[in-house]
Amino acid sequence: MVAVLMLAAICFIVPRHVSYASETSPADMARNDQPQNKAVASLYDQGVEANNNNDFQKALSLFEQALSADPDNPDILNMLAHAQRKIGLIDESIANYKKALELRPRFPEAHEYLGEAYIQAAMREVETLKNYGNDGREELEDLSEDIKEAAQKL
């Protein structure tokens, strides 16, 4: 169970400031004189600030606004998914991390955060099985062993 707890702890790592490897990042858009691009960059920056202050609900709202104006921006999708994950919207976050990775396959932060989301999803299932009592005991043991085996491969 120690391995399970170690994996769960990974989910609470404070995110590093996002570095951009794409010309479509909100920071790059701000250099453009178009007002919409500056507005998106401002929403994104405010979302990052809220995220860094652990105000994930506010960050979620800001990233959703930015995404509505720029729906194919992998940086916005990644940070939206991060905020979603931090408030417990695991399935939604996984979908948005996958969208970000479709747009930018070589995106280390999104790969890291997607992995953390999968760990949280696994821990959610562990808790569900625990709540089943004896009816889920065998499945809980199997899942716990699988998680331990995965942790040993690190």
pLDDT digits (tens, 9 = 90+) for 36-72: 799 999 999 999 999 999 999 999 999 999 999 999 9
> What is the pTM (predicted TM-score) of this model?
0.78
- For residue 18, pLDDT beyond 70: no
**CATH T-level fold of 36-152:** 1.25.40
pLDDT tens digits, 69-94: 999 999 999 999 999 999 999 999 99
| 5-9, 63-67, 93-97, 127-131: the lowest-pLDDT one | 5-9
Dist CA 65 CA 126 (whole Å) = 34
Domain ranges in the chain? 36-152
Nearest 10 degrees: Cα torsion 23, 24, 27, 32: 90
> CA nearest 18: which of 57, 87, 66, 88?
66
